């Protein structure tokens, strides 16, 4: 956890410890992968023992879970949801579709690599990933948070122009307001 090059202060350590053990998850479940989440959260696999619990709205959430493919229409909503969330925030790309388009590689209206539009911290591979893989993904995210490496939100702020350019390439009628932070 500690090393000489990147020594964290005690406060940062405590913050990261609470952040990793208390993830309020907003599952963006328009793709087919959302069906794996009830099993992950309920009795059989019980993600709540890791501190993962569902959040009702983006304002309360720390973790955005994108399950499955994103069409250009739903991408607008994802960007809007992501920008409504409060820092520090994390994104998990769930399933092959968020990595390379998966079985929608040839589709005319789905995006292929999610990381070009919003910063993804952890990918969970598979089609579909089973609840075990989802929990492994949560564990990996917790490791990154503890090491202070899950800084997708900072990346998004610093490279906003690049992300906006990519977003506008697929969204012809730009639906969102322009921020000036």
Partner 1 sequence: MNTILFQLSGALATILLAFTVGMFYGGIRRKIIARIQNRVGPPIYQNFLDVIKLYSKDTSIHHGAMQHMGPVFAITASITSLMFIPVLNGDGWFWFKNLNFSGDLIFLVYMMVFGSLGMALGAGQTGNPNSAIGVTRGLSQMVGYEIPFVMSMVALMAQFHTTSITGLMNIQMQENTWLMFSNPFAFIAAVLAMLGMFHYSPFDIVHAPAEVASGPVSEFGGKYLGLMMSSGSIFAFVKLTLFVDVFMGGAANLIELVIKTFALYLIPVLYGVVSPRYRTEQAITYFWKWPLFFGILAILWASF
Given the rule CB under 8 A, which residues bind partner 1? Answer: 14-15, 17-19, 21-22, 24, 42-43, 46, 48-49, 51, 53-54, 56-62, 85-88
Q: Which is nearer to partner 1, 19 or 76 (CB)?
A: 19
Minimum Å distance from CB 32 to partner 1? 20
Nearer to partner 1, 14 or 127 (CB): 14
Residue-by-residue DSSP string for 100-147: H-GGGTT-SSB-S-GGGTS--SEEE-SSSPPHHHHHHHHHHHHHHHHT
Give the residue with the Cβ less far from partner 1, 54 or 126.
54
Shortest distance, position 43 Cβ to partner 1, whole Å: 5
Report the residue number, 57 or 109, with the smaller CB distance to partner 1.
57
User: Smallest gap, in angstroms, from Cβ of residue 8 to partner 1?
Assistant: 14
Closest CA to 18 of 171, 146, 130, 110: 146
């Amino acid at each position: 956890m500690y090393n000489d090059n990147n020594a964290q202060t005690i406060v940062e350590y405590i913050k990261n410890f609470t952040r990793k053990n208390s993830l309020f998850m907003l599952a963006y479940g328009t793709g087919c992968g959302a069906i794996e989440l009830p099993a992950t959260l309920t009795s059989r696999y019980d993600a709540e023992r890791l501190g993962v619990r569902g959040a009702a709205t983006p304002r309360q959430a720390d973790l955005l879970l994108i399950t499955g493919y994103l069409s250009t229409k739903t991408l607008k909503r994802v960007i809007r949801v992501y920008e409504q969330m409060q820092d520090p925030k994390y994104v998990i790309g769930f399933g092959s579709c968020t990595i390379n388009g998966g079985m929608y590689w040839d589709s005319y209206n789905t995006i292929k690599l999610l990381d070009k539009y919003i910063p993804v911290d952890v990918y969970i591979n598979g089609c579909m990933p089973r609840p075990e893989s989802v929990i492994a993904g949560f564990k990996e995210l917790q490791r990154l948070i503890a090491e202070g490496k899950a800084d997708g939100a900072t990346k998004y702020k610093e490279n906003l122009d690049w992300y906006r350019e990519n977003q506008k390439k697929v969204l012809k009628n730009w639906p969102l307001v322009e921020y000036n932070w």
